[in-house]
Structure 1
Amino acid sequence: MFSRPRIFKKPFCDLYCGSKFKGFQTSEYQSYPVTFTLKYVDFNSAIICGYLSIAGLVSDEISTFFETEIVGLSGQGFVTGKWGASESVDLQHWRMFDHFPHQFLPLEIEDFCKYGVVFMRIKELFLVPDHSITYVNGAVSTSTPPPPFFLIIITGNFVFL
């Protein structure tokens, strides 16, 4: 039925299908607990996707399906220019993280485990379980162009957005 067998590689650091990270999404005014669950990880294709759940933003917990760009994979750098972001906006937001490297060098995939920090850019694609919902009062709409994206740093089992 399938043209090629499904091959699962050894987990890379803590990034593998099923891994979960807990942390906080912090804005200027508030901090919200989040859970970041990886559902699909393919380093050869530079694809990671899964669910981002946030509590306390609205009355119910919200979960969205996301895809990522990992800094250091497939030529992804700290500055993207995608989704309406300029170089100055990208750098302004990355510099909010304590773990952001001051030397601003490109990272290689081998550096992830060496430094214990993974830098990612995630783009929320739709709400789950009902992908047809495009607006939740009090939250960012996934249908407003460009779709919202977040900068994220994973250190061990902890995530910072």
Structure 2
Amino acid sequence: MPVRVVESSTPSQDSGLESRTGRPPPPSCSLLSAGRAFSGTQNVSSLQKDEAWKVNVRIQGIDLDNGYLCGTMEALNVPLADTPVVTFWEGELVDGNNFTFFTRKWEATPEDDIRHWSKFPSFAPLLSQVEADGGKNMDLSNYPYIFMRWKEQYFVNVGIDCGLTIAGFYYVCFSCSDGSINGFYYDPNSSPFQKLELKCIPGGCSGYTFSSYQLL
């Protein structure tokens, strides 16, 4: 949720599905499951590192076979909002079956993709293969990190005049070992490389383990 003020935004309807290859899905990880909660910050300016919002994320649903997940994101100290701002997002799991490292929508070019994925140290061993074809021929089923894209779809509790935009999306890297999440927001019209840093919150879970859901 970046700081550019807009009057409205319309999420892309492009599904972005890649051709199936029959490879296994990303590793099943108990720390990335429906109902899991994460908390941390998002630096809303790449130049002012002390300017950060507190952010809470909850996974609402996940479907590894189809490379899909969804959840909610709450920003707690947004300057232009009277209350915490909650958005609903849908995600793509980079698995080589459903989605590759190349976004091919949302105004992101392959060069943008490589530039953002390369911000994650865990991506370095994959770089040469991804540069060739986006990672279509890669088996990520045993890789200790899961790469994703999160695209906010709509505001849950505020109107589109809240002073924020959800026109962009997040490049996300999830650590299977400790449940930590790092991400970078991409929107050509917003501050570049806004960093998202989240830690898994111990506790109970509630959510759906399939892609059919209802957000109450």
Q: TM-score range by the shorter chain?
A: 0.7 to 0.9
1:8-157 to structure 2, matched below 5 A, reads 12-13=28-29, 14-26=31-43, 27-28=45-46, 29=48, 30-58=51-79, 59=81, 60-72=83-95, 74-104=97-127, 105=129, 106=135, 107-111=138-142, 114-115=143-144, 117-130=145-158, 133-137=159-163, 139-140=164-165, 142=166, 147-155=167-175, 156-157=178-179
How much does 1:102 deviate?
4.1
Between the aligned residues of both structures, percent identity stands at 24
**C-alpha separation in 2, matches of 1:72 and 1:99:** 15
SS, match of residue 17 in structure 1: coil
- Asked whether 1:158 is paired with 2:174, we answer no
| Closer/same/farther in 2, CA of residues 74 and 54 from structure 1, 3 Å limit | farther
**C-alpha separation in 1, matches of 2:112 and 2:162:** 26
- Report the TM-score, using the length of structure 1 for normalisation: 0.74
Write out the 4+ residue segments of structure 1 that deviate beyond 6 Å after TM superposition: none
Task: Name which structure has the greater RCO, CA cutoff 8 Å, separation 6+.
Answer: 2
| Closer/same/farther in 2, CA of residues 16 and 23 from structure 1, 3 Å limit | same
Q: Which amino acid aligns with 2:162?
A: V
- Maintained 8 Å contact 2:66/2:98: no
Question: Over aligned residues, Cα RMSD in angstroms?
Answer: 2.3
Q: Which amino acid aligns with 1:110?
A: S
How much does 1:50 deviate?
0.8
How much does 1:110 deviate?
1.6
How much does 1:120 deviate?
0.8
**C-alpha separation in 2, matches of 1:84 and 1:75:** 20
How much does 1:89 deviate?
1.3
More strand per residue: 1 or 2?
A: 1
| Closer/same/farther in 2, CA of residues 38 and 80 from structure 1, 3 Å limit | same
Q: Which amino acid aligns with 2:106?
A: W
Further displaced range: 90-99 or 62-71? 90-99
- Maintained 8 Å contact 2:94/2:101: yes
- Maintained 8 Å contact 1:121/1:152: yes
Number of residues of Structure 1 aligned to a counterpart in Structure 2: 140
SS, match of residue 122 in structure 2: coil
SS, match of residue 100 in structure 1: helix
| Closer/same/farther in 2, CA of residues 135 and 91 from structure 1, 3 Å limit | farther
**C-alpha separation in 2, matches of 1:34 and 1:73:** 30
